[in-house]
Structure 1
């Protein structure tokens, strides 16, 4: 809370019947709490960077999964082809 807002808040408290010393203490405490909240809040840049990082990780995981799938299918296809060739060689008349 900046000094203008703090003075305005103290004035409202004093108009409401709060003693001046208490009004100052309330305004200072509220200012400190608001400052701490503002410090701990995520900024747009931080959120964008975090999303960008998460998307890069997701893309990497997807590519890794796709390569694993293609390699597995290639090995399975090769096994089926070799099995078919062996079966043809065995069962064809000579």
Structure 2
């Protein structure tokens, strides 16, 4: 909260019947909270970067699973063909 907003907030509190010292303390405390909030809030750029990173991780995991399933399927197919050749009557 900048000083102009802080002054407006303090004046509004005083107009509402809050003692000047207490209004000043409220304005200062709210200013500190808002400054800390700016540091901890997620920005659009951070959210985009985080989503992009997670999508990249997801793509890598998906490719690993696809490759693993391809190898497994190939092994099962080769095993089935060998078993059919071996055990079927000629």
After TM superposition, the score normalised by the length of structure 2 is 0.92
Runs (4+) off by over 2 Å? none
Unaligned 5+ runs, structure 2 = none
Aligned residues: 90
Cα distance per residue 1:51-88 (max 9 Å; x no partner): 01111111111111111111001001101111122234
Unaligned 5+ runs, structure 1 = none
Q: Kindly report which structure 2 residues correspond to 1:1-94, keeping only aligned pairs within 5 A, or say none.
A: 1-88=1-88, 91-92=89-90
Whole-Å Cα distance in 2 between the matches of residues 32 and 23 of structure 1? 14
Please give the secondary structure, in 2, of the residue aligned with 1:17.
coil
- The root-mean-square deviation of aligned C-alpha atoms, in Å, is 1.1
Please give the secondary structure, in 1, of the residue aligned with 2:8.
helix
Q: Report how far residue 34 of structure 1 moved.
A: 1.2
Whole-Å Cα distance in 1 between the matches of residues 27 and 59 of structure 2? 49
After TM superposition, the score normalised by the length of structure 1 is 0.88
